[in-house]
Structure 1
Amino acid sequence: MSAIKSLTVTYDALNEYGTFSEGDTVTGKVILALSKETAIESLFVKAKGDADVHWTKRNGDRTYTYSAHNRYFKLKQFLIPENTKDTVLPQGTHVYEFHFNIPPGSMPASFKGSHGKIVYKLEAKLSRSWRMDHTVEKEIHFVSKSFPNLQSLMSHQAGSTNKEMGFFSKGNVHMDVMLDGRAYAPGKTMSIVAKINNSSSSEMTPKFSLIQDVVYRANGNTKHEGNVIHKVVDHCIKPQTQKEVTVAINIPCGLMQTIQNCDIISVEYHLKVYLDISFASDPEVMFPVIILPPDLAPGPHHGLVAGPYPAGAVGGPSYSDFPPPAVSMGPYPVGAVGYPTNSAFPPTAISMSPYPASAHSGSYEYLAPPPVYPYTSSVNTGPPGVNPAHMSGCYSNPVPQLPSPYGGPSPFSSSSSSSSVLHPPPTAQTFHPRPCAPSAPMMNTDFLSQSEEAPPAYSILFPSSATEKSDPK
């Protein structure tokens, strides 16, 4: 009977998805159960990440083998150090804790395919003198957060195609397609709108396909795989007909995320919208699609447009009847009194308003204008957290807003941290009642007296004619 009853390794989850990313810390335990007193030479645990590809190709009578390997990191921690003399452990269960810091930097997500894999795992190994080593492994699910320019993934995509019909048909067909985003998480839905003008004599059927492309690379050669993840077929469009087709495609849960940062394996997606025409080549529009991990996918908290107003606009939804201001295009500041402006004119517009001077504070300003700061650039960057490149519907004379119930612009920035720790959004500001409007603005020139003294009597200014003495004739 073996003295080693069991050897197991476990790790602690960092989030609800049980995933790890660049820069995270992996903590866990190695549990060793002994049926009797045992001498141990060493016990250690390793964390490592590796990518491997392998396939064969037959050409005539010869078979060629292609393989490649990438190692991203390997960390090792001794739980029972190696000694010249064995360590004797008593009978029972022994628990050893460990922790590893995953290195920062760009590393691909976990992947398993028909010709390759990317695997991150923990491995515990027990060594004894003159005995076989005991080894146990535990895979960890790794997701990459190395996606540059994350803000650009929230914009819509549009494309069009036009086809002149050939020998078997007359006329032409035109199709405009709009996709509501560039990046999606598993379990989310992508929306497609296609406007089709069939000015031909042929029938055609709109079709929509989400396709996965996997490429393996080794020894200067490539191996391709294509998989249709989801396909939608709409109704046939008759000749000389116009039609608008709206389709929703659900991203399957558990779908592999996009991999673009591995030298030997890449996983990419695209949406193909095409018109199936008999006896003719099919006109098509292709859109690249990025599949992100759930906690990294753009949403309302990452700046996507969640309503009719620009993403990240100061104040968000408000109690005002006026459209919300975006990045200032005129000489006045946006959102907060005192924010630096590039204009050479003093920002006096908000000082005349009875509304709060700042959308993110409980203070009010009526008369005192904010300080003027020297400008440093010819471009107005707007308030913190707002990217002018993604603003639309700007107003040259923005109307001040009441404090936002959401507490201001999103705390997330376009360059996501590799850390998976999620910071809670700022708490909503306390609602302050709207103050009474000031009686009148202050003016530098005293055009009229604003004294509280009673005005002079009418009889003094304009004497009555009855009391005047007429001139003698």
Structure 2
Amino acid sequence: MPSIKSLTMTYDALNEYGTFSEGDTITGKLTLDLLKEITVQSLFVKVKGDAEVRWTKKHGDRTQTYTAHRRYFKLKQFLISEDSKDTVVPKGIYVYKFSFNIPQGSMPSSFRGSHGRIVYKLEAALSRSWRIDRTVEKEINFVSKSYPNFHSLMLQQVGSTNKEMGLFSKGHAHMDVTVDRGAYAPGETVVIVAKINNSSSSEMTPKFSLIQDVVYRANCSTKHEGVVIHKVVDSCIKPQTQKEVRCAVKIPRGQMQTIQNCEIISVEYHLKAYLDISFAFDPEVKFPIVILPPDLVPGPQPGVAVPPYPAGATGGSSNSDFPPPAVSMGTYPASPHSGSYEYRGAQRYSAPQPAYPNNPSMYASRPNAYPAQPAHMSGGYSNPVPQLASPYGSPFSSSSSTSVLHPPPTVPTSHPPPSAPEIHPAPSSPYNVSDPAPAYNLLPSAPMMNTDFLSQSDEPPPAYSLLFPSSEKSDAQQ
């Protein structure tokens, strides 16, 4: 007959999602049900967080294994101390409470993949002499809230691509793409607006894909996995046609959060907007998309103007992944009303047109086109993040296509004009100097000629014969 009927463990949830984050406190109970008296060496509970990767790769006749491990924290609490050596515990049911404070700091969210995992769990162990330890464990769902440049993730993203047709077609194609923001929670919708100018002789089909990129790292080697989460295909665009395309890509509920703070595992997302052209390289624009925990994405703020499309903030992203602008969005004709676009055969898009400081004439916009930003987002505009190279590299394999992500439009600020410097009289010199100061010419003067050929003179001009001897005399001399 066994001595231990059961050893169970429960913990208390902090929110409706059952998740824990940096700095949270985990509380729970460990229940020990004994059928008869036992002697215990120790009883403890511990919580820890670990990341590990493992995969194999063949190199000819041999197989190499790549592994890596990272530990983020480990906390241990004794319920029956091991210093007491053998402790007699009579028959009955015993309930032990425990509590742990998760350390502060940047730690990645829980994750399980085909070649690695990030696991946070509670473990309890009952040790007895000459017996196998009785253990129980429970995983906890850890969700990191460490996202740098959080305010910039709530801003609009804008990108452009242009393609010159090659052998099988003539003309060019241009596409401007706008994404309402850069971060979403699972279950939210990515709102995309694409303005396409097909000035070529080929048909093309706009397509939009949300892609997950998982990278495992170990022993100076990497292993990549790419999965298309969602794909939207729009109708075909005929040659010599302009069209505005609006589509929505929904983030699936329960989708894994973005992981960027783990050395050996990274989970990232990007939205790819491209034109499918037969017998040609497809021009495309890629936007990084960050998936946040549901309770981290802010809702609409009272008193803040709502943009034309839901769940988005006005402005452009200052995320450091965006390169500086290189392609103009001035291809499309503007309507008579400033700040709107108009296309033949398409519905008007009346969103404010961004005004960029580098080229104000091509990005004309009416004053105060953007509403004042809420106080909690002011840091995203006043402290822009330095621009870094895009993590996705060049999105084109063809040299005839160019693509660029534009930086965010900044909120116009007014500064008082600088005051004129005060004029003080020059101090009097102790010396009596009467010579005037030499004059300096700002521009170099033309060189002076030695003879003033325009001056009047009483002397007659030289005779013509002296200047040009007669040809007859020359012939006679010959």
Match of 2:319 in 1: none
Instruction: State the Cα deviation string for residues 305-330 of structure 1 (Å, max 9, x = none).
Output: 6458x979xxxxxxxxxxxxxxxxxx
Instruction: State the Cα deviation string for residues 100-139 of structure 1 (Å, max 9, x = none).
Output: 0000000000000000000000000011111110111100
Does 2:181 correspond to 1:190? Answer: no
What is the CA distance between 1:200 and its match in structure 2?
Answer: 1.0
Structure 1 residues 73 and 272, CA gap change in structure 2 (3 angstroms): same
Structure 1 residues 28 and 148, CA gap change in structure 2 (3 angstroms): same
Asked if 1 retains the 8 angstrom alpha-carbon contact of 2:41 and 2:82, the reply is yes
Between 66-75 and 231-240, the greater mean CA deviation after superposition:
231-240
What is the CA distance between 1:383 and its match in structure 2?
Answer: 9.7
CA distance in 2, matches of 1:302, 1:9: 44
Q: Which amino acid aligns with 2:146?
A: S
Which residue, 387, 395, 398 being the options, matches 2:378?
A: 387
Asked if 1 retains the 8 angstrom alpha-carbon contact of 2:36 and 2:91, the reply is yes
Output the TM-score relative to the length of structure 2: 0.65
Match of 1:25 in 2: 25
What is the CA distance between 1:384 and its match in structure 2?
Answer: 6.2
Structure 1 residues 298 and 115, CA gap change in structure 2 (3 angstroms): same
Match of 1:449 in 2: none
Q: Which amino acid aligns with 2:229?
A: I
CA distance in 2, matches of 1:66, 1:282: 36
SS at match of 1:296: coil
Alignment of 1:307-322 (within 5 A): none
CA distance in 2, matches of 1:395, 1:23: 41
What is the CA distance between 1:252 and its match in structure 2?
Answer: 0.5
Match of 1:225 in 2: 225
CA distance in 1, matches of 2:205, 2:3: 69
Between the two proteins, what is the percent identity of the paired residues? 72
Alignment of 1:31-180 (within 5 A): 31-83=31-83, 85-180=85-180
Instruction: State the Cα deviation string for residues 266-304 of structure 1 (Å, max 9, x = none).
Output: 111100000111110000010001110011123325998
What is the CA distance between 1:63 and its match in structure 2?
Answer: 0.4
Q: Which amino acid aligns with 2:124?
A: A
Does 2:249 correspond to 1:244? Answer: no
CA distance in 1, matches of 2:70, 2:232: 38
Instruction: State the Cα deviation string for residues 387-425 of structure 1 (Å, max 9, x = none).
Output: 1727858899xxxxxxxxxxxxxxxxxxxxxxxxxxxxx
SS at match of 2:6: strand
Does 2:258 correspond to 1:264? Answer: no
Q: Which amino acid aligns with 1:158?
A: V
Output the TM-score relative to the length of structure 1: 0.66
Give the gaps of 5 or more residues in structure 2: 315-371, 383-409, 416-478
SS at match of 2:151: helix
Match of 2:287 in 1: 287
Q: Which amino acid aligns with 2:378?
A: N
Instruction: State the Cα deviation string for residues 173-219 of structure 1 (Å, max 9, x = none).
Output: 11010000000000111100001111111111111000011110001
What is the CA distance between 1:169 and its match in structure 2?
Answer: 0.9
Asked if 2 retains the 8 angstrom alpha-carbon contact of 1:42 and 1:80, the reply is yes
CA distance in 1, matches of 2:145, 2:302: 14
What is the CA distance between 1:80 and its match in structure 2?
Answer: 0.8
CA distance in 1, matches of 2:213, 2:121: 26
CA distance in 2, matches of 1:192, 1:182: 11
CA distance in 2, matches of 1:6, 1:223: 42
Structure 1 residues 256 and 242, CA gap change in structure 2 (3 angstroms): same
Asked if 2 retains the 8 angstrom alpha-carbon contact of 1:51 and 1:70, the reply is yes
What is the CA distance between 1:238 and its match in structure 2?
Answer: 1.2
Q: Which amino acid aligns with 2:241?
A: T
Number of residue pairs aligned between Structure 1 and Structure 2: 327
SS at match of 1:152: helix
Over alpha carbons, which structure has the higher Rg?
Answer: 2
Structure 1 residues 103 and 304, CA gap change in structure 2 (3 angstroms): farther
Structure 1 residues 60 and 293, CA gap change in structure 2 (3 angstroms): same
SS at match of 2:82: coil
CA distance in 1, matches of 2:34, 2:83: 20
Q: Which amino acid aligns with 1:132?
A: I
Does 2:4 correspond to 1:4? Answer: yes
Structure 1 residues 91 and 50, CA gap change in structure 2 (3 angstroms): same
CA distance in 1, matches of 2:5, 2:104: 37
Asked if 2 retains the 8 angstrom alpha-carbon contact of 1:298 and 1:304, the reply is no
CA distance in 1, matches of 2:129, 2:105: 40
Asked if 1 retains the 8 angstrom alpha-carbon contact of 2:54 and 2:67, the reply is yes
CA distance in 2, matches of 1:48, 1:35: 31
Give RMSD over aligned pairs: 2.5
Asked if 2 retains the 8 angstrom alpha-carbon contact of 1:183 and 1:298, the reply is no
CA distance in 2, matches of 1:311, 1:196: 23
What is the CA distance between 1:90 and its match in structure 2?
Answer: 2.1
SS at match of 1:175: strand
SS at match of 1:151: helix
Structure 1 runs (4+) deviating above 4 angstroms are: 301-305, 381-386, 390-396
Asked if 1 retains the 8 angstrom alpha-carbon contact of 2:151 and 2:377, the reply is no
CA distance in 1, matches of 2:249, 2:13: 31
CA distance in 2, matches of 1:305, 1:143: 31
Asked if 2 retains the 8 angstrom alpha-carbon contact of 1:211 and 1:269, the reply is yes
Q: Which amino acid aligns with 2:49?
A: G
Q: Which amino acid aligns with 2:37?
A: E
Give the gaps of 5 or more residues in structure 1: 313-380, 397-473
Q: Which amino acid aligns with 1:133?
A: D
Between 197-206 and 382-391, the greater mean CA deviation after superposition:
382-391
Match of 1:343 in 2: none
Structure 1 residues 230 and 171, CA gap change in structure 2 (3 angstroms): same
